[in-house]
Amino acid sequence: MKQLFEYLNENFGLSTNADIFSKKKKSALPLYLQGSYDFYNGHIQETPIIWAKPLNDSDLTPTQLKKQADSLKNSLNSPIVFVFDYLDAWQRKRLIEKHIAFVQPSKQLYIPELFLELNDTIVKKSSPITQGSPIAQDDYLKPPSQLALLYHLQVAPLTNLSFGAIARLLRLSTMTVTRIIKEFQSFQLVEVIGTKEKSLSFTCDGRALWDKALPFLRSPIRQTGFISEGLPPGIFRVGGESALARYTLLAENEQPSYCIGKETLLALRKTDKIPSLTDKYRDYKIEIWHYDPILLSQKEEVDKLSLYLTLAGEKDERVMGALNDLITEMQW
């Protein structure tokens, strides 16, 4: 949510705030809505609103979102604004056609009840990951597509597999895999072979494919927090500088870092197997990823390519040197 507030304030001068719902207030909502969103009481300028941020990547249609927004508005007596990390241009268009209030940080804000429709065409500056020409926000692979690419590079090839087989391997819906393929095609990473039973052929392999895709990749970290208590075994992966120290000659960081997929963390919270994370310093640093790191690594540590992406923005020369060794020494 911090990214959202910075976006609205820096680009449009809008004063905003938010406080996460209390358990009591959230429990008054229908069960299917309680488990689908994080809710925040907020304001834009002096007008009260409710921010609703999906907990999982959603395949809900605009019509379904409209029904949920109406249900929430009736229950909470306040305008509902959905907060999305990623939306395609056609999805934003459909939401506007249905008069559904939403915001995509760094891209667009649409709240018809407040007569707000603001667009932002800011282009992100180059970074260690995106060396060279600046790249627009929509010119990055979305998390499911990044997951599929890194799986292909490190775990098992996705060539000559049906879309259904890819979906099963990555624990995704067939519809999501179809979107991934279209996205790969738009970045000229694959060719689709066949007519009835289609499969993939990547335009290059190994290190060449990594180098070609790198400008379109970014850190999988969705959120970070801290925790003091012990972690359930087998669910987390060692990440950050802790993992880099295991893969290279980098000295071990005093504070261990661990990674977990956002949906896995949500399941743990529902069964009270892990306490809520805090933003205050504790024994363990926890990275919440857009995709499940377990899918890319069966070892204690996260996969090497995702690890590179999480640390590529670091300015520490020791870390950058270790990252270079990590990629150079990989068996492609």
Residue range 28-37, pLDDT digits in tens: 888 888 888 8
The reported pLDDT for the residue numbered 122 is: 35
Q: Which two tokens stand for residue 327?
A: 């990629």
Strands 37-44 and 47-54: antiparallel
On the question of pLDDT at 171 being above 50, the answer is: yes
Q: Which helix (H) or strand (E) holds 118?
A: strand 116-119
As to burial, measured by CB atoms within 10 angstroms (0-12 exposed, 13-18 middle, 19+ buried), residue 266 is: middle
**pLDDT score, position 11:** 63
* C-alpha radius of gyration, the chain, whole number: 21
For residue 124, pLDDT over 50 is answered with: no
pLDDT for 40-64, tens place per residue? 988 886 778 899 988 875 567 788 8
Q: Among residues 240, 257, 292, which one has the least CA distance to residue 56?
A: 292
Helix (H) or strand (E) holding 50: strand 47-54
